[in-house]
Amino acid sequence: MKFQKSLLLTMLVFFFSCNEESKFPKVEELSVFEKTEFILTLEHKVAKDKNSIYCATFIFAWKELTKSFNSIEFPNGNTDIVLLNKSNSFENVLKKDEYKISQEVDGDFVKIRAEFNKSLPFEIKLQSFKNKLTFNGEKVSSFGVKGYDSNEQLKNVKIIYYKNDNNFIIKLLPKEKEHEIILFKTEKGFNSIAEMTLEIEKLTEIGKEEIKNEKINWKYYYDVEDIVIIPKFSFNKQTNFKTLEGTSFTSNGESYDIFKAWQRTAFILDESGAEIESEAEIEYATEEIEEEYEKPKPKKMIFDKPFLILLKRTDAKNPYFGLWTTNTELMIKE
């Protein structure tokens, strides 16, 4: 009979605050929120009617587990394990000194923990708005900028790509120039955050070309009637991954049980918060740039429908945090 060992994976403890003085809300079980889920990799499918929260630290801990063995065999048929083992989109998303991985061994009991926190305040706060935003029919607190704001405020919000008021990308620029937050509103359908990340890279390159075209470069500069309105977020959620807990794997003739796979994510985004500009290199299909002059019109960049938030280093291809938001469960209500 093979000897069965227990493995405790305290995987993914992630904190992010846009405000150095901000306080996270009380931790809540994710299970009581019907319209929000955690996803384990960028490649995991996102639901059309749920918020999807991703953070790379979970896969950091998972890879720490797999590299602890010379050989390891998992059971067939577990999609989460297949994607965790296959994904490499977590690589180089953070510097070694920006996160911590620890492993504790007590007899046959092993605990792996991955964690980090990051605060990315703006140099100058953006505006906090009242009664300015309704997301899918529900009023929520919001922040942003107007075209007649000070140059310093407008510098914090960079237009990366603009097609129309339902298809655009902006970045919020923090004090720490090595990090950025990208906000992407789109009418196009995607299966995963990985697909959306590739689309952002492609559209970013298109934006770099369009800003050189005098006939359409008004899209990338603020006029007095332009406005950006973003929902405020504040949450602190934890969950256990039932698809991983109880799973057995084998290595060198011994069997192991995953006893616990746990995640907690705390996140705040408001007028004090963060973002920068990416230097990613990608392959993309260039879209044809219109040669006809487009008459400038007010840009109403309002995040009132499903959109994506990414946190990433400017020198990294992929994000270390992603939030695909389709409803108001994680937003601050008015």
Q: What is the mean pLDDT of the chain?
A: 84
**C-beta separation of 150 from 301 below 8 A:** no
pLDDT value at position 248?
82
Q: Which CATH class is domain 127-232+271-325?
A: mainly beta
**What token pair was written down for 119?**
């605060």
Partner residues linked to 117 by β-bridges: 15
pLDDT of residue 231 exceeding 90: yes
Confidence category of residue 305, pLDDT binned at 50, 70, 90 = very high
**C-beta separation of 239 from 62 below 8 A:** no
**What token pair was written down for 36?**
């929000």
Return the domain boundaries, the chain. 4-119+236-269, 127-232+271-325
Percent share of the chain, pLDDT over 70:
86
Is the pTM value of this prediction over 0.75?
yes
- Compute the average pLDDT of residues 257-268: 84
40-73 pLDDT tens trace? 999 999 999 999 999 888 888 888 888 887 888 8
- Compute the average pLDDT of residues 116-125: 86
**Residue 307 to residue 215: CA distance in whole angstroms:** 28
Confidence category of residue 22, pLDDT binned at 50, 70, 90 = low
**Residue 175 to residue 189: CA distance in whole angstroms:** 33
